[in-house]
């Protein structure tokens, strides 16, 4: 695929290309895939936090 000038600053993953193909076809399958799969976006210069298990963020103190 040719992304023109966007290809110079846009990082495209295989997963993104597969999703684009899905969007062109079966909309219901695409919606389920988007909702059930981990997705990420790369943004140069941004701080990124990826947690595969959100319970790791649980800082509950029994005394509170």
Task: Note the pLDDT tens digit of each residue in 2-38.
Answer: 656 555 555 667 777 777 777 777 666 666 655 555 5
- Do the domain assignments include residue 39? yes
Quick count: other Cβ atoms within 10 Å of Cβ 50? 6
- Do the domain assignments include residue 61? no
Q: Are 45 and 38 in contact (CB under 8 A)?
A: no
- Do the domain assignments include residue 57? no
- Do the domain assignments include residue 6? no
**Predicted pLDDT at 17:** 76
Q: List alpha helices for the chain, DSSP H.
A: 14-24, 27-36
- Do the domain assignments include residue 37? yes
Q: Is the pLDDT score of 42 beyond 70?
A: no
- Do the domain assignments include residue 49? no
- Do the domain assignments include residue 26? yes
Give me the domain span that covers residue 38: 12-43
Q: Are 19 and 30 in contact (CB under 8 A)?
A: yes
- Do the domain assignments include residue 27? yes
- Tally of domains in the chain: 1
Q: How far is the first Cα of the chain from the last one, in angstroms, to the nearest whole number?
A: 55
């Amino acid at each position: 695929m040719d992304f023109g000038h966007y290809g110079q600053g846009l990082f495209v993953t295989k997963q993104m290309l597969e999703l684009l193909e899905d969007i062109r076809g079966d909309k219901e399958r695409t919606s389920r895939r988007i909702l059930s799969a981990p997705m990420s976006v790369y943004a140069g210069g941004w701080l990124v936090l990826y947690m595969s298990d959100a319970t790791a963020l649980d800082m509950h103190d029994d005394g509170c």
